[in-house]
């Protein structure tokens, strides 16, 4: 029996090493990893360049606390901010969950410091996911994630995604922010529509609330740009990121614009491991690898992946209900007649690692950004054969 207090249903294999797109278990079996550590290992497992940069940093400085400045932290912050169109400063942390906590505090403190204390409500979207902390499940989360944790934190109101009428009805002068995922990943791979975002932009100008994008799963190249909002032509006031940010190294961030950065005082937030030197080395290396050539490959492979999945849907209309998503974040909705956990186990036995969203009938397809056509062909063949059987 394991001494680990875990809360995830685990596959019956033990992974001992990984390289590129492949995982290897204790028996030496190889698995093509289309989970990417859940949208995290974007550049493949044990990426040589990232390994090199972390190894170099290990020899000079691991951690010195934020009582001191460090060159690697300053350089990484500048590199990240210069890669965005809206950012002025970034708060580094250790996970996406911590990034959400920071964002919520920054929103509240911004209006406190600005003197507009009437703005206390944060609107979030039903079916959204912002982590499993007390703040995260109050802001979003499924009923399953919320069960047993009442009373939830006040100050959050959930509204239906893509319902413009409800958005207009709920926004008021007490609205401090609207916080959302541009693609609801854990919620079943649902995109926020352009019409909804356009109306959100109009209301933002009218009521003066902040716009916070949770790009923890859609960031760092997964949708073909550094952040997905760049594809949509709308800039947030603050943004949360993590997962692919460090290619598997525990790190997160909350990027804010100059208006927010200018009013946050000393002591407004903090974290012992914030800006840890090894994490900064991982982030810096990740940003180095996010070049035009790689992002071009993401776009090409995403088109090929989408086409391959839609072929399966056309061949198996009784088993596949829908294909949706964008970039290398795709969802395959499976008919209720199929046991998706059993399907995942069959795919794993065939050498393909997949996972599913909180909507149990939706498979989440998350290959690393280095994926090749041959990998997609293999994954499509395995999925097709096991669905057909």
Contact indicator for 40, 247 with CB cutoff of 8 Å? yes
Q: What is the pLDDT of residues 18-56, one digit of tens each?
A: 999 999 999 999 999 999 999 999 999 999 999 999 999
Ranges of CATH 3.90.1150.10 domains, the chain: 15-33+292-388
Helical H segments across 208-325, by residue range: 229-232, 258-261, 277-289, 292-315
Instruction: Quote the percentage of the chain above a pLDDT of 90.
Output: 95
Query: What was the pLDDT predicted at 273?
Result: 93
- Give burial (CB, 10 Å; 0-12/13-18/19+) of 266: exposed
What pTM, to 2 d.p., does this model score?
0.96
Mean of per-residue pLDDT scores for the chain: 97
2: confidence class by pLDDT, cuts 50, 70, 90: confident
Going by C-alpha positions, the residue among 88, 51, 60, 22 that lies closest to residue 286 is 51
Q: Give φ, ψ of 20 to 5 degrees.
A: 60, -125
The mean pLDDT of 333-347, rounded to a whole number, is 98
- The CATH fold of domain 48-289: 3.40.640
Query: What was the pLDDT predicted at 8?
Result: 86
Characterize the bridge pairing of strands 121-125 and 156-159: parallel
Q: How far is CA 386 from CA 340, 345, 350, 379, 389, in A?
A: 11, 10, 9, 11, 5
Structure tokens at 193: 């529509």
Query: What was the pLDDT predicted at 141?
Result: 72
Query: What was the pLDDT predicted at 42?
Result: 98
How far is it, in rounded angstroms, from Cα 347 to Cα 366? 15
Q: What class is the 15-33+292-388 domain?
A: alpha beta
Query: What was the pLDDT predicted at 337?
Result: 97
Is the pLDDT confidence value at 115 over 90? yes
Question: CA torsion 213→214→216→218, rounded to 10°?
Answer: -60
Q: What is the pLDDT of residues 51-71, one digit of tens each?
A: 999 999 999 999 998 899 999
DSSP-derived 3-state class of residue 336: coil
Structure tokens at 160: 């239906």
């Amino acid at each position: 029996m394991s001494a680990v207090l875990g809360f995830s249903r685990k596959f019956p294999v033990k992974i001992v090493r990984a390289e590129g797109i492949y995982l290897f278990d204790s028996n030496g079996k190889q698995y093509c990893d289309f989970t990417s550590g859940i949208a995290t290992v974007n550049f493949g497992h044990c990426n040589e360049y990232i390994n090199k940069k972390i190894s170099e940093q290990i020899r000079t400085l691991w951690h010195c606390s934020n009582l001191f400045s460090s060159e690697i932290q300053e350089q990484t912050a500048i590199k990240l901010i210069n890669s965005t169109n809206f950012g002025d400063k970034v708060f580094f942390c250790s996970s996406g969950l911590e990034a959400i906590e920071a964002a919520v505090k920054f929103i509240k403190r911004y209006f406190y410091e600005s003197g507009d204390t009437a703005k206390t409500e944060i609107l979030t979207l039903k079916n959204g996911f912002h982590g499993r902390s007390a703040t995260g499940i109050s802001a979003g989360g499924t009923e399953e994630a919320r069960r047993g944790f009442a009373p939830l934190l006040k100050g959050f109101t959930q509204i239906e995604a893509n319902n413009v009428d409800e958005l207009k009805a709920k926004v008021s002068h007490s609205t401090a922010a609207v916080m959302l995922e541009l693609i609801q990943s854990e919620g079943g791979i649902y995109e926020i529509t352009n019409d909804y975002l356009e109306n959100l932009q109009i209301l933002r100008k009218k009521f003066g609330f902040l716009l916070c994008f949770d790009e923890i799963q859609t960031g760092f190249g997964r949708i073909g740009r550094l952040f997905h909002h760049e594809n949509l032509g709308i800039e947030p006031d603050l943004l949360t990121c993590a997962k692919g940010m460090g290619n598997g190294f525990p790190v997160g961030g909350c990027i804010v614009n100059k208006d927010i950065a200018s009013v946050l005082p000393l002591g407004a937030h903090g974290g012992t491991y914030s800006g840890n030197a090894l994490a900064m080395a991982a982030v810096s290396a990740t940003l180095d690898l996010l070049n035009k050539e790689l992002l071009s490959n993401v776009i090409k492979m995403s088109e090929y992946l989408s086409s391959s999945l839609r072929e399966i849907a056309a061949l198996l209309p009784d088993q596949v209900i829908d294909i949706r998503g964008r970039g290398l974040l795709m969802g395959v909705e499976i008919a209720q007649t199929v046991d998706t956990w059993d399907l995942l186990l069959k795919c794993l036995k065939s050498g393909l690692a997949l996972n599913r969203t909180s909507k149990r009938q939706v498979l989440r397809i998350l290959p690393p950004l280095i994926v090749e056509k041959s990998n997609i062909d293999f994954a499509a063949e395995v999925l097709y054969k096991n669905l057909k059987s």
